[in-house]
Structures are given as structure tokens and as C-alpha cells.
Amino acid sequence: MNSFLAILSGVPVLPIAKWINAFVNWLTGFAGFFNALTAGIGAILDAIQWVLDLFPAWLFIILVLLLTWFILRKTKHWGFMLFEVLGLGLIWNQGYWHDMTQTLTLVLATSLIIIVFGVPLGIWMAKSHTVNVIVRPILSFMQTMPAFVYLIPAVALFGIGMVPGVVASVIFSLPPIVSTTCLGIQQVPADLNEAAVSFGCTPWQKLFKVELPLARTTIISGINQGMMLALSMVVIASMIGTLGLGSLVYFAVGRNDAGAGFAAGIAIVILAIILDRLSEGVSGSNQSHNE
């Protein structure tokens, strides 16, 4: 043991920080690519925000109630609809409505991106053992790394504002949907796959007609987790100029204003409960339809 410790003490300090800084500096050389990516994400954000700003607060609340009734129509949902009216009404009353829509824009944009990239990657992991072995430890690394760390390369590559906030949120919230998609595909019973093949299904037909429908509930559960993780990033992302309810909390901390911080925090909680319940309702309705 002593000899082993002596060997370790003689090993020079690895310049990990210098290696990472050098890698980030190398990435900044691809300014054209990151500028195009910034423009693309910015266009998504602007489109979602434009749609949300079309509706006055009262009409938006009515639309949310109609959506809730449609998704949760097979369950006892009247109490939750009352909560939506009171909760969204409170956000409107406190003057946080536009901040709420900005936060919702960030969450929806992040959710759209992680679905587009996470579901195909999860399917690839389920189909390829090599990809699974390579990607799984990367996902574990992404989940365990402190969220604040993602802000540094996001600012270096995308500047400040909403876009780097979305990028950091995507990195932080991508692993759940990839993992659950992979799990859902792998849990499809082998006899059903064999039956699909025996009936002459091609791999693509088997994927879209057998595996994805059976894995839908698990995939939607991953989307729900990713959405909640994205919402948890709104306060952290406010440190790099991301607007919304998170910036109100961040500024309240700087002013030591407990009242303003808790008021904005309550608005975030209300939004989180509504999004969580609606996404769970989508999963439950799909499960009932499959049964």
C-alpha cells in the first residue's frame, strides 16, 4: 500500500482544466456552425413565443382548460381544472404573465429538441449493443455533472440570452428521454417481434407498428422527466441572461428580497404542476388506448 501511495504521489498533476479549455477554444473556431445553430434555435424560440403572445391571458387560460378536459376527460379532473384557473389567475394577478410565457417557451423549445434528438438516439441504443455501451456512460456523465457547469461552454459558444439557456437545458434534460426510449424498445415482448417478422414486416414497419406503439407510455414518461428537468434549469439559466420567471428569482436573490423570490417561485411551481399533470395525462390516455 505504501509503495502504491508513493507511486501516486509521484504522478504529475494532469492538466484537465487546460485540456478542456483547449477543446472549447477549438470549438469556437467553428463560429459559422454555432452562429447557424444559434439562429435556428432562436427561430424556434421566436415562433413559440409569437404563438403564446397571440392569446390574451384570459383566452390562454380557457385554452388550457379545454386541453386539460380533452386529455383528462376519462378521469376526475375538475379539481385540477379549478387549480389551473386559480394558479394561472394568480400568475396573471402578480404581473408575471409574460415572464411565465417566456419560461414556457424555453421549456417547450427544450422539449421539442430533446424529442427530435433523444427518441432516435434511444432507438439506436436499443438496436445496437455497441452504441448502447458507448452512449450509456455518456448519459450518466451528463446526468451527474452539476448543471452550473453547462453554462460555461454554452456562453462561450452561443453568447448570452435565451439560446444558451436552451442549449444548457437540452444537455441537462436529454438523458432521461434517451434512456426511457431505449428501455421501452427493449421491453417489447420478443414473441410480438417474432410475430411481426413472421408476418413479413420490414424492420421499419416493425419499429413503427409494433415497437414504438408499445413503448409509447415509457417514452412519454421520459419526455415528462425531461420537461421537468428543463423547468428546473430556468433559475440556473437566468445567470446567463435567460428571461422568464427564473430571472425574477435570480434578481430577488441578488436584492435579498424573499417576498419577490417566493412569489416568482410559486409561479414556477404552478407551471410545473400543470405541465407535469398534462404530460402524465397524455401518457395515461395512450396507455388506456393501447389496452
The answer to whether residues 27 and 157 touch, using CB atoms and an 8 Å cutoff, is yes
Cell numbers representing residue 191 in the block: 414473441
Say whether pLDDT at 86 is over 70.
yes
Which residue is listed with cell 439562429? 39
Three-class DSSP category at 147:
helix
Can you give the pLDDT at residue 291? 46
Nearest-angstrom CA–CA distance, 44 and 39 = 9
Three-class DSSP category at 211:
helix
Of 44 and 284, more confident: 44
Can you give the pLDDT at residue 33? 86
pLDDT digits (tens, 9 = 90+) for 17-40: 888 888 888 888 888 888 899 899
Question: How many separate helices (H) and strands (E) can be counted in the chain?
Answer: 15, 0
Nearest-angstrom CA–CA distance, 167 and 164 = 5
Nearest-angstrom CA–CA distance, 198 and 102 = 50
Q: Which residues contact 69 (CB under 8 A, 6 or more apart)?
A: 77, 81
Mean pLDDT of 59-75: 88
Q: Give whole-number Cα distances, 291 to 209, 214, 220, 280, 288, in Å.
A: 15, 10, 16, 17, 5
Mean pLDDT of 70-76: 78
Can you give the pLDDT at residue 9? 62
Say whether pLDDT at 152 is over 50.
yes
The answer to whether residues 218 and 181 touch, using CB atoms and an 8 Å cutoff, is yes
Three-class DSSP category at 96:
coil
Residue type, position 267, single letter: A
Can you give the pLDDT at residue 158? 86
Taking all residues of the chain, what is their mean pLDDT, rounded to a whole number? 86
pLDDT digits (tens, 9 = 90+) for 163-210: 988 998 999 899 999 999 999 998 888 888 788 878 778 888 888 888
Instruction: Determine the length of the chain.
Output: 291
Q: Where are the alpha helices (DSSP H) in 207-256?
A: 212-232, 234-237, 245-255
Give the residue among 142, 144, 140, 122 at the shortest CA–CA distance from 131.
122
- Full-model pTM: 0.87
pLDDT digits (tens, 9 = 90+) for 243-266: 888 889 988 988 888 998 999 999
Q: Count Cα neighbours of 270 within 13 Å in the Cβ-side half-sphere.
A: 23
